[in-house]
Amino acid sequence: MSDHTVKSYDEELAHLTSILARMGGMAEAQFAAGIQALSKRDDDLAQRVIDGDSRIDELDQEIQTFAVRLLALRQPMASDLRQIVSALNISGEIERIGDYAANLGKRCLILNHLPVTAPVAGVVRLAELVRSLVKDILDAYLEQDVEKAIRVWSRDEEVDEMYNGVFRELIDQMTEDSGTITASTHLLFIAKNVERIGDHATNIAETLHFQILGTQPKGARPKGNTVGAPE
């Protein structure tokens, strides 16, 4: 799209996108580090993830403030309006992803110091899948690629299926060996939080669709059963 007649407006919109890109990159890195801390049982890394969350919250604040300023001063219309409103929305989603990553760090610290452990491979596999969705949706945002956003959106079902598998595994684990109940319960919460990160990626996909095309994606949102116990 061509530039605004008022150049500073373009610069402000570009600035908004760049803060959001930085924030998204940070949340993705936090999540990846959290997964690594879990699989490697790394206390230091887990602690760094916990400490890093405040920086994401700061960026979220910065975006909220800047977006409100743009709304007030530029009175944006059409695609500009959609871009700014979407930035507000997506910033909130990324902030939640950051919170779940930090929570993953906290649970890692607890898990690492439990006398009895439980296998983490299933949860790590689920987390890697969701991380790839987060990466793809952030790429889609930067490239303004609506096709890519729709692909992320339609893959949420995959996440839900894998989550159900992990849920069953952990229940089986607890049934077999009651000594692992504490560890497995923490893993269960991690799995649930990871599944929610997937939901946030889906929300971003919907917002991006609206930003680019002005409409919500067509059809019902792909949604598997995530109660954890399929009938």
Q: Which residues bind other proteins (CB under 8 A)?
A: 1-6, 9, 75-82, 214-215
Task: Report the residue number, 21 or 213, with the smaller CB distance to other proteins.
Answer: 213
Least spacing, CB of residue 208 vs other proteins, in Å: 15
SS3 labels along 11-66 = HHHHHHHHHHHHHHHHHHHHHHHHHHHHHHCCHHHHHHHHHHHHHHHHHHHHHHHH
Cα of first residue to Cα of last residue in the chain, in angstroms, is: 50
Least spacing, CB of residue 146 vs other proteins, in Å: 14
Phi, psi of 6 (to 5 degrees): -90, 110
Report whether 114 contacts 221 (CB < 8 A): no
Per the rule left: phi > 0, alpha: psi between -120 and 50, beta: everything else, 200 is: alpha
Task: Report the residue number, 80 or 99, with the smaller CB distance to other proteins.
Answer: 80
Least spacing, CB of residue 8 vs other proteins, in Å: 11
Task: Report the residue number, 1 or 229, with the smaller CB distance to other proteins.
Answer: 1
Least spacing, CB of residue 209 vs other proteins, in Å: 12
Task: Report the residue number, 75 or 229, with the smaller CB distance to other proteins.
Answer: 75
Q: Is 218 helix (H, G, I), strand (E, B) or coil?
A: coil
Task: Report the residue number, 76 or 222, with the smaller CB distance to other proteins.
Answer: 76
Least spacing, CB of residue 157 vs other proteins, in Å: 28
Q: What is the helix (H) or strand (E) element at residue 141, kind and residue range? A: helix 121-143
Phi, psi of 141 (to 5 degrees): -65, -50
